[in-house]
Structure 1
Amino acid sequence: MATRLVQINMKARDDAALGRFWAAALGWSLDSEGPGVTNLEPPGFSYPDPVAVCVDIVARPEPKTVKNRVHLDLATTSPSHQAELVARLEGLGATRADIGQGDVAWTVMADPEGNEFCVLEPRPVYRDTGPVAAVVVDCGDPRELARFWGAAMDWAVHEVADGHATLRSARGVGPYLEFLRNPDPKRGWNRVHLDIRPYPGDDPAAEEARLRALGATDPGIDQSAIPWTILADPEGNEFCLLSPS
């Protein structure tokens, strides 16, 4: 059994407006599966496929109050492309953000609801990822999260060190999943989190048991009204185990 990362779930006070921003930012298609949910995926995409990690934006009334522990890094192909992308995103409503990064080659920004993201300088490793270079998770122990997520999913672990760890789909396509050491403690539930799916024919209950044996825990969230399962990784980061598809 195994799962795969299929989408990022992002909370928003106005899912439709934030969806329009990210659809324009990524050049992706915009749809909705129902009120309060906006879905983004590349044009012509056949879900699920590791060539892209989709984005679901879900309406929630709570305002953003702390830095997100999960964010997107956007890829660029040249210094001029990086500058052009930053300018275009500012025109769409993004702002530059200071999270204490200092003088770095990438540009830290925030979307119209304050969600941080980075526009990276051109890096060869991301030349074939598409517009999203990486999904990045702040953590205290990259080695431990690489252990957990490397076993939880069928993604390959590419690099593990004290300061960072990197995974990517075993097919060698799509964005990377990266864990970066950050001393800041987790505060409250994550407004951006990972959604994973088992493969068709797999038993969701057995997959949940397997994830718990790897170190997943119950985050203490009322799940009585939802058909999927919410768990937390060994550092308390919430994630959703969706139905097989």
Structure 2
Amino acid sequence: MATRLVQINMKAHDDTALGRFWAEALGWGVDSEGPGVTNLEPVGFSYPDPVAVCVDIIARPEPKTVKNRVHLDLATTSAAHQAELVARLKDLGATLADVGQGDVPWTVMADPEGNEFCVLEPREIYRDTGPVAAVVVDCADPREMARFWDAAIDWKLHQVTDDQATLRSAQGVGPYLEFIRTPDTKSGWNRVHLDVAPYTGDDPAAEAARLRALGATSPSYDASAISWTILADPEGNEFCLLSPRGTA
């Protein structure tokens, strides 16, 4: 058995407005909207497909108080494209952000609700990822995160060092999943987190047990009103194990 990374979950005060921003930013469409929930995916996308990691925006009243531990890196193809994308994102409501990055070739920004993201300078490794180059997770120990996530999902481990671990879908398509060593410590619930799903026909309860055996834990949370399982990786980052949907 194995799970697959299918989307990131992002909390927002106004999911509809933030959904419009990210749809325009990525050139994606709004797949569905409901009270307090906006789902984004590429136009013509058939869920689930590793060619993209979708975005699920959920309305929550709690304010953002600390830097997110999960963020998106956006890909560009040239210096001109990077500058044009930064300018376009500013027009959409994004702002420049300082997270202590210093003098770097990428541009750190924040969306209209303050969620950090990066517009990268052109890099050959991201030439075929689509608009999202990578989903990036801050961590204390990339090697331990690589051990867990390499076993948890059916993605291929490409690199692991003391400072960074990188995975990508076994099909070699879509964005990378990167774990970057940072000095920050986790504080409170993550407003942005990963969502994974079993393959069609797999037993979600058995998959949850497998993930716990790998080192996942069950955060204290009232799950009586939800149909999915909330877990946390070895560094306490929450993630959701969704029900299977779509084709394998």
Q: TM-score under structure 1 normalisation?
A: 0.99
Deviations 1:45-76, CA, capped at 9 Å, x for gaps = 00000000000000000111100000000000
Question: Partner of 2:89 in structure 1?
Answer: 89
Question: Partner of 1:50 in structure 2?
Answer: 50
The unaligned stretches of length 5 or more in structure 1 are none
Q: Say how many residue pairs are matched.
A: 245
Question: Partner of 1:128 in structure 2?
Answer: 128
Question: Partner of 1:109 in structure 2?
Answer: 109
One-letter code aligned to 1:123: R
Identity rate, percent: 83
Is it true that 1:207 corresponds to 2:207 in the alignment?
yes
Question: Partner of 1:243 in structure 2?
Answer: 243
Deviation beyond 6 Å, 4+ runs, structure 1: none
One-letter code aligned to 1:167: L
2-side partners of 1:65 and 1:146: how far apart? 28
One-letter code aligned to 1:156: K
Question: Partner of 1:183 in structure 2?
Answer: 183
Is it true that 1:137 corresponds to 2:131 in the alignment?
no
Deviations 1:173-192, CA, capped at 9 Å, x for gaps = 00000000011110000000
Is it true that 1:37 corresponds to 2:37 in the alignment?
yes
1-side partners of 2:53 and 2:120: how far apart? 18
1-side partners of 2:219 and 2:145: how far apart? 17
Instruction: Return 60-69 or 24-33, whichever deviates more.
Output: 24-33
2-side partners of 1:184 and 1:75: how far apart? 25
The unaligned stretches of length 5 or more in structure 2 are none
Superposed displacement of residue 33, structure 1: 4.3
Deviations 1:97-129, CA, capped at 9 Å, x for gaps = 000000000000000000000000000000000
Does the residue aligned with 1:143 lie in a helix, a strand or coil?
helix
Superposed displacement of residue 21, structure 1: 0.2
One-letter code aligned to 2:64: K
Q: TM-score under structure 2 normalisation?
A: 0.98
2-side partners of 1:5 and 1:170: how far apart? 12
2-side partners of 1:220 and 1:180: how far apart? 26
Superposed displacement of residue 3, structure 1: 0.4
